[in-house]
Amino acid sequence: MNSTVFSENMKKFRLAKKYTQEDIAEKLCVTAQTVSRWECGTTLPDVLMLPEIAKLYGVIVDDLFKKHSVAYENYAQRLSALYEISDDPEDFLRCRLEYQKIMKSGKMSMQDKWDYAWLHMAMMYDCKDEALKWFDEVLSDKTDKNSLPYRRAASMKQDMLFSFGKGEEILKERQQKMDEAGGALDEREWILLAEAYELAKQYEKALEVCKEALQKYPDNWELCLLVGCIYRDMKKYEEAITYYEKAGKIGTYFCDEKYSIAMCYRDLGKFKEAHRLYLEIADIHRKNGYDVEAEQALGYAKEIEDKIK
């Protein structure tokens, strides 16, 4: 432990925060003489007290022993600066937790509010890059293009690219690929094209693609589910439910059609019917050994209990 740098920082940080030695002593439950000895380099605090001292001065423990460290307004802002360098999700979570403590105290400064917003923006971009990287990892493995992870990776990546303003480019590529193949592509490509039109809010065109695809692949539950979703986007709930039920008869992956129908009922204000479906979903999941998913469905049911007349 570099006692000289430590003692210099102890005084520098205290003065930067406009604390007296008595203020520090009270906050750390020690005597003012103890604080004075730390600043003079006569003694050093117990190593277990270092994290508490660091938080008090708005720094991390390592900063206590660095010659050119500065005291931040608070510990959360220091953790934010740390995350900016590390891009480590653990640092993001630590910083977020500290800011939540400040929120509860009602002492969020303008700088804190800006920094909290920046923190989540930075995490969003980091997560975007990581998600795209791993979707590409899935899609680079051509051994089982019909597997659910492969199919969903393609859809989710496309969804993300639309959200980042690349929709027009993606839609053009999808349609061009279909045109060049003369429609002779597998069902996954048809679904991706229809989903692209749906994301572009070109619902009639999306329906046209889906229904043409269903003539080729009438037993594809994902296509039926997608038609239902498009009709729901158009607020044509009767048609949406009809196609969701068709998907259910073919056999969906994880009660997809029931969740979708429940959402239609919620949109329509039919909370009793939605509540019944969530309970049914929970029962199915529990019978299949998916207790966590069952609890999630029960949570959805609980959300709307007070709306049931």
Residue type at 210 in one-letter notation: C
> Cα–Cα distance between 99 and 285 in angstroms, integer?
37
Which of 26, 52, 71 lies at the terminal end of a domain, its last residue?
Answer: 71
Tell me the average pLDDT across 223-235.
Answer: 98
Tell me the average pLDDT across 252-270.
Answer: 96
In a domain, 196, yes or no: no
**pTM value surpassing 0.85:** no
**Residue whose token pair is 């660095």:** 66
119: buried, middle or exposed (CB in 10 Å: 19+, 13-18, 0-12)?
A: buried
In a domain, 121, yes or no: yes
CB atoms within 10 A of CB 181: 11
- Give me the domain span that covers residue 135: 75-140
Residue type at 209 in one-letter notation: V
Asked whether the predicted pLDDT for residue 309 surpasses 80, the reply is no
In a domain, 9, yes or no: yes
Within this chain, do residues 84 and 60 fall inside the same structural domain, yes or no?
Answer: no
In a domain, 235, yes or no: no
Within this chain, do residues 79 and 49 fall inside the same structural domain, yes or no?
Answer: no
Q: What is the pLDDT of residue 1?
A: 55
Tell me the average pLDDT across 167-192.
Answer: 92
> Cα–Cα distance between 139 and 132 in angstroms, integer?
10
Which of 123, 140, 157 lies at the terminal end of a domain, its last residue?
Answer: 140
Q: What is the pLDDT of residue 183?
A: 80
pLDDT in tens, 65-120: 998 899 999 999 999 999 999 999 999 999 999 999 999 999 999 999 999 999 99
Tell me the average pLDDT across 146-169.
Answer: 93
Asked whether the predicted pLDDT for residue 2 surpasses 70, the reply is no
> Cα–Cα distance between 201 and 99 in angstroms, integer?
38
Contacts of 271-275 with C-beta under 8 Å, sequence gap 24+, read 271/304, 271/307, 271/308, 271/309, 272/308, 272/309, 274/304, 275/301, 275/304, 275/305, 275/308
In a domain, 262, yes or no: no
Q: What percent of the chain has pLDDT over 90?
A: 92
In a domain, 253, yes or no: no
Q: What is the CATH number of the domain that holds 7?
A: 1.10.260.40
Within this chain, do residues 1 and 67 fall inside the same structural domain, yes or no?
Answer: yes
**Token digits of residue 11:** 């005084």
Within this chain, do residues 79 and 63 fall inside the same structural domain, yes or no?
Answer: no
Tell me the average pLDDT across 252-256.
Answer: 92
Q: What is the pLDDT of residue 54?
A: 94
Domain total of the chain: 2
Within this chain, do residues 58 and 6 fall inside the same structural domain, yes or no?
Answer: yes
Asked whether the predicted pLDDT for residue 182 surpasses 60, the reply is yes
Within this chain, do residues 2 and 50 fall inside the same structural domain, yes or no?
Answer: yes
Within this chain, do residues 52 and 90 fall inside the same structural domain, yes or no?
Answer: no
